[in-house]
Amino acid sequence: MEIFLVYLKVFAVGGALCALGQLLINKTKMSSARILVSFMLLGVLLEITGAFDYIREFANAGVTVPITGFGSTLAKGALEGAKEDGLFGAVTGGLKAASAGLASVIFFGFVFALIFRSRSKKI
Amino acid sequence: MKKGRQSFILDRPVYFRSSCTIVGPKESEGNYGGLFDMVLRDDRWGEKSYEKAESKMHRKAVEGALAKSGLSAEDIDFILAGDLLNEISASNLAMRHFKVPFLGLYNACSTFTEAVLLGSLLIEAGAAGAVCCSTSSHFASAERQYRYPLELGNQRTPTSQWTVTGAGASVLTATRPTMAEREAGEEKFAEYLGETAAEERENCGKLKKLAKNCAGKYRPDYAVSWRRGEGGRKCAVRVVGGTFGRVVDLGIDDESNMGGAMAPAAADTLLAHFEDTGATASDYDAIYTGDLGRFGKQALEYLLSTQDVDLGDRYHDCGAGFYTPEQQTFQGGSGAGCVNVTFNADILRRMERGELKRVLVLATGALLNKDTPLQKETIPGISHAFVVEAEEIAEEE
Amino acid sequence: MIAKDAYKRYVEENSPKSPMWRSMIAAFVVGGLICMAGQGVHDGIAAIFPQMAEEEVGAWTTVVMILFGAFFTAVGVYDKLGHFAGGGSIIPITGFANSVVSPAMEYNREGIFFGICAKMFVIAGPIIVLGIVASVLVGIIGLFL
């Protein structure tokens, strides 16, 4: 039962974030890159204010799977780096924490682009 | 002869001798499906890229129109061609295959009417006896150049249009084609289709893996049905004049709302045409705009209503009517191929059958590239118009 | 003819709009489902490797979700999902993967160097650049906290 509740919260919060994004698309005609950037910066903001941890405790993947999670990882890494290694950590920390995501997206992008090609659409 | 500010009337008539159209699979399921000379089952046509496929379509359309005209490449004095790709590369690359002087044109989606106007003026001036006018556009190559990668999962806005995958070519001559010449042309075209089909089969054999993709499906139905005499032709279509458009910009900056951006240009050219020639809307059996789309059509009607001009039921838009609503294209078709294949496959043939006598075709183009909206430029539009008339051919000719 | 601003107003008022509720519900449902899939991946990894630290599980979840996004882009499913769901498939990390893989695939005809590698970030570039700039700024602020 408890696990059911966890997934329900994930669904609700994740869905709400995406619906908010759709609202922005409908209202402002933002392109997908702009939407992604604004939500990532939202994640950074939530992380430095400390709100992100509370939301994550409540919604788990509902807030880490959206691109807000990527922003929070970057900000969290930078803050931790600054605490541990001073200026050097402040500069490298964010990228270090986000390296798993960045490395995998570049690697998979390269490999799939070698194998597949884009197709024309009918709708 | 110059007429008014922007218009001219030809002193000697220039005739549409033949035309050829090629479209992709989605287009063949649209409202004009079944009217095109060739239909591709796969819009990459066995090529490595969509740009190459577009260039191949362009070349085949010109070859097809030449075959149907019964003329050889030596008889054609100029080819006037254009498309939407960077530096009109689809036309440029296609023209390598013709030993004919080539004039490259670009006026976005209104390139076809521009080519016909210039071609008929060249013929009238005696600089040419026969010219070929062709344009092409391709959904996949236009999408990548003007918008986003095909596989990007974003939504198209409700004001957007669908670039028509299509190429078309028309041969214009100073002399009126006789029925016998037309019959001979259709024979030659059937022969050409056979050759192309054989060539395709050979290519498929070489690349067995691509066989499924590259067998273009040919439907020369029209030629067949015409030879049986069903709804046969009785008219020749001639260009009688036209109006060159000015660049008009009413400050629309939404690159996904081309109809709104181009409608003022269409209104400007149309009003100039009426003023220069003294004609009114009721002088035409039909008035076609190029690819304003459903909203653009509405915007043009609104703009004209502020000037007390009412086009009525005779007004159609090639783009708005191109696809069926079920095909989910929002505003309809667009692209340099849109007005071209609609004119060559539908309007021209209805005129040849005598259903329409006098038609005004007003193609519109949005003059932007990928960078101008980023530099905060608004989108200017342009529109060129030509007038065509059907002229009955007596039986004995 | 008509004045510029009058025409602009006409276009703004009369051009067709996105169906607000339908698109938002589609975004909500699809986005929610993708997040649930992410939670499932997370819980699965945590169950298989019970000793793994929470942060590492999170990182692996990101990698797996990116793999999913990249794969469904490559086989031509993600663009259809995006056509239906809009924001629902853009905002999850799978949408980020889609925005990297789709241009890479689109430009692979121009070769590996100036096609795939150079064009890979035409859409995702701003996300990565602004993300890194923001993280450095946050780190420097962190020095004074």
Give the pLDDT score at B189. Answer: 87
The torsion defined by the Cα of C68, C74, C78 and C83, in degrees rounded to 10, comes to 170
Q: How far is B137 from B162, CA to CA, in rounded Å?
A: 11
User: Interface partners of A (3+ CB pairs, < 8 Å)?
Assistant: B, C
pLDDT at res. B388? 96
In a domain, C39, yes or no: yes
Sort strands B333-334 and B358-366 into parallel, antiparallel or unpaired: unpaired
pTM: 0.92
SS3 state at B76: coil
Within 8 A of C98 by CB-CB distance, chain B residues are 151-153
Q: Do B299 and C14 touch (CB under 8 A)?
A: yes
Choose the closest CB to B50 out of A25, A32, A120: A120
Residue contact A113–C105, C-beta within 8 A: yes
The answer to which of B1-5, B233-237, B344-348, C125-129 has the lowest mean pLDDT is B233-237
Spell A97-114 as b/e; 16+ CB within 10 A means b: bbebbbebbbebbbebbe
Lowest-confidence pick of A27-36, A100-109, B247-256, B270-279: A27-36
**Chains linked to B by 3 or more Cβ pairs within 8 Å:** A, C
CB proximity A32 to B under 8 Å: yes
Please judge whether A90 and C136 are an interchain contact, meaning their C-beta atoms are less than 8 angstroms apart: yes
Q: Which of A64-68, B44-48, B212-216 has the highest mean pLDDT?
A: A64-68
Q: What is the mean pLDDT of chain C?
A: 93
Mean pLDDT of B25-40: 86
Any idea what DSSP says for residue C115? Answer: I
In this structure, are residues C73 and C103 in contact, taking their beta carbons and an 8 Å threshold?
no
Q: How confident is the model at residue B206 (pLDDT cuts 50, 70, 90)?
A: low
User: Is residue B227 predicted with pLDDT exceeding 80?
Assistant: no
Confidence of residue B217 (pLDDT cuts 50, 70, 90): very low
Q: How far apart are CA B53 and CA C137, in angstroms?
A: 48
**Chains in contact with C, where contact requires at least 3 CB pairs less than 8 Å apart:** A, B
Q: What distance in Å separates the CA atoms of residue B12 and residue C35, rounded to the nearest whole number? A: 70
Mutation pick from B155, B252, B330, B370 vs chain A, by most beta carbons of A within 10 Å, is B155
Count Cα neighbours of B80 within 13 Å in the Cβ-side half-sphere.
23
Residue A31 pLDDT = 84
| Cβ pair B93, B55 in contact under 8 A | yes
Residue C95 domain-assigned? yes
pLDDT for position B177:
87
CA B9 to chain centre: 22
Whole-angstrom CA distances from A25 to A32, B261, C124, C125 are: 8, 21, 17, 20
The conformation of residue B43, written as its DSSP 8-state character, comes to T
**C12 in a domain, yes or no?**
no
The tokens for B183 are 């019959």
A119-123 average pLDDT score: 80
In Å, how far from its chain's centre is CA A100?
13
Share of chain B above pLDDT 70, in %: 91
Sign of CA dihedral B367, B373, B375, B378: positive
Q: Are C132 and C105 in contact (CB under 8 A)?
A: no
pLDDT digit string (tens) for B129-142?
A: 999 999 999 999 99
| Residue C37: domain span | 22-144
Q: Could you tell me which residues come within 8 angstroms of residue B111 by beta carbon, excluding any fewer than 6 positions away?
A: B82, B83, B105, B135, B336, B363, B365
pLDDT at C24 over 60: yes
Once rounded to an integer, what is the mean pLDDT over residues B19-44?
A: 86
Q: Is A42 left (phi over 0), alpha (psi -120 to 50) or beta?
A: alpha
Q: What is the DSSP letter of B108?
A: T
Is residue C50 over pLDDT 70? yes
Q: What was the pLDDT predicted at B234?
A: 83
pLDDT at position B396 is 57
User: Rounded mean pLDDT of B55-79?
Assistant: 93
Which residues of chain B does A31 touch, with a Cβ-Cβ cutoff of 8 Å? 154
Taking the Cβ of residue A27 and every Cβ of chain B, the question of whether any pair is shorter than 8 Å is answered with no
Q: Which residues pair with B358 in a beta bridge?
A: B389
Query: Taking residues A40-52, what's their average pLDDT?
Result: 93
For residue B121, the Cα-to-chain-centroid distance in whole angstroms is 18
Q: Across chain B, what does the average pLDDT equal? A: 88
Query: Has residue C5 been placed in a domain?
Result: no
Chain A CB contacts of B141 below 8 Å: none
Residue C14 lies in a domain: no
C82, part of any domain: yes
pLDDT of residue B395: 63
Question: A29 vs B157: CB contact, 8 Å cut-off?
Answer: yes
| Interchain CB distance below 8 Å, B154 and A29 | no
Q: Cβ contact (<8 Å) for C123 and B149?
A: yes
What's the pLDDT at B211? 43
A residues 15..74 contacting C (CB < 8 A): 15-26, 32-37, 39-41, 44, 47-48, 60-62, 64-67, 69-71, 73-74
**SS3 for C9-38, per residue?**
HHHHHHCCCCCHHHHHHHHHHHHHHHHHHH
A107 or B181, higher pLDDT: A107
Question: What average pLDDT does the structure give for chain A?
Answer: 92
Q: What is the pLDDT of residues A20-39, one digit of tens each?
A: 999 999 888 788 889 999 99
Query: What per-residue confidence (pLDDT) applies to B15?
Result: 95
Q: Which residue of C has its CA nearest to B304?
A: C1
Span C119-130, average pLDDT? 94
Which whole number is the average pLDDT over B362-382? 93
Q: Do C82 and B154 touch (CB under 8 A)?
A: yes
Q: Is the pLDDT of residue A82 over 60?
A: yes
* Residue B223 confidence (pLDDT): 27
Asked if B155 lies within 8 A of C23 by C-beta distance, the reply is: yes
Percentage of chain B exceeding pLDDT 90: 67
- Can you tell me the distance from the alpha carbon of C75 to that of B210, in angstroms, rounded to the nearest whole number? 17
Tokens of B39: 């239909």
pLDDT at B228 over 50: no
Return the closest-CA partner of residue B323 out of B141, B161, B169, B154: B161
What's the pLDDT at B154?
A: 86
Tokens of B3: 């007429």
Q: Do A118 and C106 touch (CB under 8 A)?
A: yes
CB contact burial B82-120 (16+ within 10 A = b; e otherwise): bbbbeebbbbbbbbeebebebbbbbbbbbbbbbbbbbbb
Contact criterion met (CB below 8 Å) for C87 and A19: yes
Residue C104 counted as domain residue: yes
Query: In this structure, is residue C42 part of a structural domain?
Result: yes
Domain count across chain C: 1
Comparing C-alpha atoms, which of A74, A57, A61 is closest to residue A12? A61
Percent of chain C with pLDDT over 90: 85
pLDDT above 70 covers what percent of chain A? Answer: 100
3-state secondary structure of B289: strand
Q: How confident is the model at residue C59 (pLDDT cuts 50, 70, 90)?
A: very high
DSSP 3-state helix, strand, coil percentages of chain B (rounded to 5)?
Answer: 40, 25, 35
* Closest Cα in chain C to A119: C76
Chain A: residue nearest C102 by CA?
A: A118
